Amino acid sequence: MLKSQIFALSSIEIAILIALTIPTLWALFSAPFVPTPMKAVRKMLKLANIKEGDKIYDLGCGDGRLVHAASKEYKANAVGFELSPLIFAIAKFLQPFWRSKAKIKFRNFHSQDISDANVVVCYLMPGTLQKMLDKFKTLKKGTRIISYSFKIPGLKLIHEEPRIREQNICPIWVYEI
Q: How far apart are CA 174 and CA 159, in angstroms?
A: 5
All structural domains of the chain: 29-176 (3.40.50.150)
pLDDT single digits (tens) 73-97: 999 999 999 988 889 999 999 999 9
Q: Which of 23-37, 107-121, 126-140, 150-164 has the lowest mean pLDDT?
A: 23-37
Smallest CA-to-CA distance from 17 within 104, 108, 85, 79 is with 85
pLDDT single digits (tens) 122-173: 999 999 999 999 999 999 999 999 999 999 999 999 999 999 999 889 999 9
